[in-house]
Structure 1
Amino acid sequence: MHYWPPPRARTAVVRRLRATLVESLGPDCHLRGALPGAMVDHDYSTGTVRGLLCKLCNRTVEECPHVNGCPKADYMSNPLAAHLALHYPPYLAYEPKASTRAQKIELLGFDPLAEWRPARS
C-alpha cells in the first residue's frame, strides 16, 4: 500500500530530512517517480542522504548488481539529493541481522557498514 503523506517519522531528525527532500526535490520516489516517496534513503557507508524513495525502491535499491547503465546504479552513483549535503545520523541507521550482513559481505566482497560506524556487540 502506497500513500502520501507517509506515516510520521519516529524522530524529528528524519522528519526534517524528509521535509527538506520533499521541498527541494518533490514528494515522488526519486528513483522511479511512479509512487510517493516515504523513506529517506542514505548510503550506509557514508551516511550521505541520497533521496526519498518509495518502500519498494528502498528495499531493493542496494541489491542492484550493476555498476552503471541501469536506473538503480545511476541513482546510487549520482543521487538527486547529493547537492543538498544531508547526512543521516548513524545512531538511527538500520542494523541488519548477522545473517543478512554476512550475505551482503559475500555479495559485495566487503562490509558496507564497517567504515561508517562500529559493529554493535
Structure 2
Amino acid sequence: MVIKTLLCSRESLGVADAAHGLSRYRTPEDIRKAVVALRRRPCFRPATGDKGCPPEAFANASRRKLYSALVRRYGPMCQSCGQRYGHVIDHDHFSRLVRGLLCRVCNAWIDNCVHEDANVCPYAGYLNEPPAERLALRYPASHRIRAMDEVRSAILGFDIMESPAWPSANPAAWRWEIPDAAYLEGVASDWWARHPNAPGALRLQREAR
C-alpha cells in the first residue's frame, strides 16, 4: 500500500497537466527512506470526543449501495476507532476491495501507517484484518485513478494490480528506473485519448486543437 501511495504524484494526470507531477515520482530508495521515517513515529491517534453526525446520502449510486451494505453488516460507526460516524468508504488501492467504513480523521491518516503490530498501532489491526474484506465489495475506480494506474505500470514495468506479474512477492525488493518525462506524459495522454468520455477529456481535446 505504501509503495502505491508514495510512487506517484497526487496531482491529476489529464493531458494538460500530466507534466507537472512527473518530477515527483519516487524511486525505490525514496520510498524506503519514507517508510523508515514513518516507522520511527507513532500514527496519529484520534482523541475521544464528539462522534459527529451520520453522513448525508452519497450522490453516487454505487457508493450509496456500498455504504448501505456496510451499515447493515457493521453499523454506522468508524470501523477503525469506533468513536465517530463513518463518512468514508475505505478501500484497498491494490485490489479496490472495500476495507470498511471510516471517519474522516482515520481516513486521513490510515494509509500512512507502516506498522505491523496491532498492539502498537490500532491502524495496523484494521489494515491487517480489514472488517469488510469478507464481503468482497469492489470500490468503483475514478477516471483519474485509472489513469494513475497506467502511469504506475509504465514506471514499474508491470501492472501493480496483478500480483502474479510482480517480480517478487516482497515489494521491498522491487527495483525500477523512472522513464523520461515525455514518455510518461505520453502514457497519460494516450489513456485520456482512449477514454474520450472521461471528465475533462473533451475540454482538453479542444484546447489541443
Question: In which range does the TM-score fall when normalised by the shorter chain?
Answer: 0.7 to 0.9
- Tell me the equivalent position of 2:160: 115
Q: 2:107 aligns with which of 58, 63, 78?
A: 58
Look up the SS of the partner of 2:138 in the other structure: coil
**Which of 139, 142, 146 is 1:91 aligned to?**
142
* Aligned-residue offset at 1:2: 6.0
SS in 2 for 1:67: coil
Question: Counterpart amino acid of 2:141?
Answer: P
2:142 is paired with a residue whose SS is helix
Equivalent position of 2:130 in the other structure: 79
Kept after mapping to 2: 8 A contact 1:31/1:71: yes
Cα RMSD of the aligned pairs, angstroms, is 2.9
TM value normalised by structure 2: 0.44
1:7, distance to aligned residue in structure 2 (A): 2.2
CA distance, structure 1, for counterparts of residue 161 and residue 55 of structure 2: 28
Structure 1 residues without counterparts, runs of 5 or longer: 99-104
Q: Normalization by structure 1: what TM-score? A: 0.74
Residue by residue over 1:28-49, the C-alpha shift from the partner in whole angstroms, topping out at 9 and shown as x without a partner, is 0000000000100000111010
Conserved in 2, the CA contact under 8 Å of 1:42 and 1:48? yes
8 Å CA contact retained: 1:90, 1:116? no
Runs of 4+ in 1 over 6 A off after TM superposition: none
Aligned to 1:41, what secondary structure does the other structure show?
strand
Residue 51 of structure 1: SS of its match in structure 2? strand
Letter in 2 for 1:54: C
Which of the numbers 56, 67, 73 marks the counterpart of 1:7?
Answer: 56
For residues 44-96 of structure 1, give each alpha carbon's deviation from its aligned partner in whole angstroms, at most 9, with x where no partner exists: 1110100000001011101112123321111111011111111101237x74x
Distance 1:24 1:32 in 2: 17
**Counterpart of 2:28?**
none
